[in-house]
Amino acid sequence: MNERKNSKLAFERACNVIPGGVNSPVRALKAVGTTPLFVSHAKDTYIYDIDDNKFIDFCMSWGVFILGHNQDTVSKAAAEAVMRGSSYGICTEAETVLANKVREAFPSMEKLRFVNSGTEATMSAIRVARGYTGRDILVKFEGCYHGHADHLLVAAGSSVATLNNASSAGVPQGFTQYTVVLPYNDTEALEKYFAEHGDEVAALILEPVACNMGVVPPTREFLEATRRLTSAHGSVLIFDEVITGFRLSFGGAQQRFGIKPDMTTVGKIVGGGFPAAAFGGKKEIMDMLAPEGPVYQAGTLSGNPVAMAAGIATLDQLKQPGFYDELEERANDFCARLEKIIEGKDIYLNHCGTMFTLFFNQKNPTNFQETKASDQERFARYFNNMLERGIYVSPSQFEGNFISRCHTPEILDYVLKSIEESIE
């Protein structure tokens, strides 16, 4: 890697007009104390910056590119759609085509609607769930991220069932008064809360495998309890599969674990690299939406034809027999070898399918309190050492890394060698 002079200049120029120089905070690389990357283009597993450096990417646009960056089939489908017209604000058939493909993967999404981001998907799903149940309370788990809607920016409070303060300025206290935060993987706390307040809960939302506190898989007991307790109390169970959908299997975490939520949100992969996400679920819940029902939700660019084309092209490839088995085998082999490298070094690996996080920690974290105990300075050194070796890992201790179809065994060999050197 060279000195990245162009990136430094680009960042200065960006900072003059864009807050922090970025359009999403983590890109500023503050947590790892280095100049952000400015990308010129990407192909397969490689990103190229404007200083002509080439990096093996493990962020993959936060898990979007399970097929690899800039794949011909997807890029061509999108380009063709652009040439026909990139938006109409009027119905297109592509929306129904992609909706059917999503439903094929997620049979629990009997009806679904497209939006432009994961944030919109979770926000809309929660509104419908509240409209359907006529209740207000939303239960979420500490360390789970569901986008940046006001009532979801709550993470603090490890004690059981605390009505929380927002974790962002600019969110009035009142906006979060119906959001209850519980610790992830704590079945007892969940049971206790539902025993006392279950009948007031509109919805329980969770990442079925947490990825936004670093990868933290659920225990089977915990995941089953989310289904059992919401069913018993008439609350809507929402799986936020914005990351795990089309990632942990074609049908996401719910297929992998055999648990059927009432509602699901998907994003990232489903738009094939364009802004698209979806929320859906039981027909009787989704039919609460306008124009059928009283719950309002809309979007100028929702179901955008370019995003639909890219999504269709992506899902068609993911459906190929053996796609997930082959990729998961490669990921399991990678993780098994990685375990050996980190043994006895106060580094722990959490992984699920093709998602993984290396925690600079005293043990494998199972919840947010435990992931927060990680040594972030050590992580920052590791990140920069990897960058020096031409590898861009996700730039925070609290994020996942993603293996794509383009991460060949040869590339993964090189990465393992680099991790070994980097942590020395």
Ligand X SMILES: *Cc1c(COP(=O)(O)O)cnc(C)c1O
Indicate which residues carry an active-site annotation.
145, 240, 268
Residue among 146, 247, 351, 405 that touches ligand X (CB under 6 A): 146
Structure-token match 């503050």, residue found: 30
Alpha carbons 267 and 274: distance in angstroms, whole number = 10
- Count of residues near ligand X by CB under 6 A: 15
Span near ligand X by CB under 6 A; candidates 240-248, 297-305, 314-322, 413-421: 240-248
> Measured from the CB atom, is 262 or 399 closer to ligand X?
399
> Measured from the CB atom, is 51 or 142 closer to ligand X?
142
The verdict on 239 binding ligand X (CB under 6 A) reads no
What x/- string results for residues 97 through 136 when contact with ligand X is judged by CB under 6 A?
A: --------------------xxx--x--------------
**Nearest Cα residue to 350 out of 219, 198, 171, 227:** 219
> Measured from the CB atom, is 18 or 195 closer to ligand X?
18
What x/- string results for residues 177 through 216 when contact with ligand X is judged by CB under 6 A?
A: ------------------------------x---xx----
Region 265-304 residues binding ligand X, contact defined as CB under 6 A: 267, 277
> Measured from the CB atom, is 145 or 348 closer to ligand X?
145
Q: Strand pairing partners for 278?
A: 114, 266
What x/- string results for residues 383 through 412 when contact with ligand X is judged by CB under 6 A?
A: ------------------------------
> Measured from the CB atom, is 147 or 353 closer to ligand X?
147
For the bound state, the minimum distance from the C-beta of residue 145 to ligand X, rounded and expressed in Å, comes to: 5
Q: Please return the burial class of 11, using the count of CB atoms within 10 Å of its CB with bins 0-12, 13-18 and 19+.
A: buried
> Measured from the CB atom, is 137 or 215 closer to ligand X?
215
For the bound state, the minimum distance from the C-beta of residue 120 to ligand X, rounded and expressed in Å, comes to: 7
> Measured from the CB atom, is 269 or 419 closer to ligand X?
269
**Residues 375, 360 contacting (CB under 8 angstroms):** yes
Q: Strand pairing partners for 43?
A: 46
What x/- string results for residues 44 through 83 when contact with ligand X is judged by CB under 6 A?
A: ----------------------------------------
Residue among 145, 178, 193, 324 that touches ligand X (CB under 6 A): 145
Residue with CB nearest ligand X? 118
Residue among 21, 68, 147, 217 that touches ligand X (CB under 6 A): 147
For the bound state, the minimum distance from the C-beta of residue 27 to ligand X, rounded and expressed in Å, comes to: 12
Span near ligand X by CB under 6 A; candidates 13-21, 144-152, 362-370, 410-418: 144-152
Span near ligand X by CB under 6 A; candidates 101-109, 145-153, 217-225, 250-258: 145-153
For the bound state, the minimum distance from the C-beta of residue 26 to ligand X, rounded and expressed in Å, comes to: 10
For the bound state, the minimum distance from the C-beta of residue 400 to ligand X, rounded and expressed in Å, comes to: 9
Task: Please write down the HEC assignment for all residues of the chain.
Answer: CCCCHHHHHHHHHHHHHCHHHCCCHHHHCHHHCCCCCCEEEEEECEEEECCCCEEEECCHHHHCCCCCECCHHHHHHHHHHHHHCCCCCCCCHHHHHHHHHHHHHCCCCCEEEEECCHHHHHHHHHHHHHHHHCCCEEEEECCCCCCCCHHHCCCCCCCCCEECCCCCCCCCHHHHCCEEEECCCCHHHHHHHHHHHHHHEEEEEECCCECECECECCCHHHHHHHHHHHHHHCCEEEEEECCCCCCCCCCHHHHHHCCCCCEEEECHHHHCCCCCEEEEECHHHHCCECCCCCECCCCCCCCCHHHHHHHHHHHHHHCCCCHHHHHHHHHHHHHHHHHHHHCCCCCEEEEECCEEEEECCCCCCCCHHHHHCCCHHHHHHHHHHHHHCCEECCCCCCCCEECCCCCCHHHHHHHHHHHHHHHC
**Nearest Cα residue to 98 out of 318, 247, 249, 271:** 271
> Measured from the CB atom, is 68 or 267 closer to ligand X?
267
Span near ligand X by CB under 6 A; candidates 96-104, 140-148, 176-184, 252-260: 140-148
For the bound state, the minimum distance from the C-beta of residue 213 to ligand X, rounded and expressed in Å, comes to: 11
Which tokens belong to 360?
């600079």
Which tokens belong to 139?
């239960």
- The site for ligand X (CB under 6 A) is made up of 117-119, 122, 145-147, 207, 211-212, 240, 242-243, 267, 277
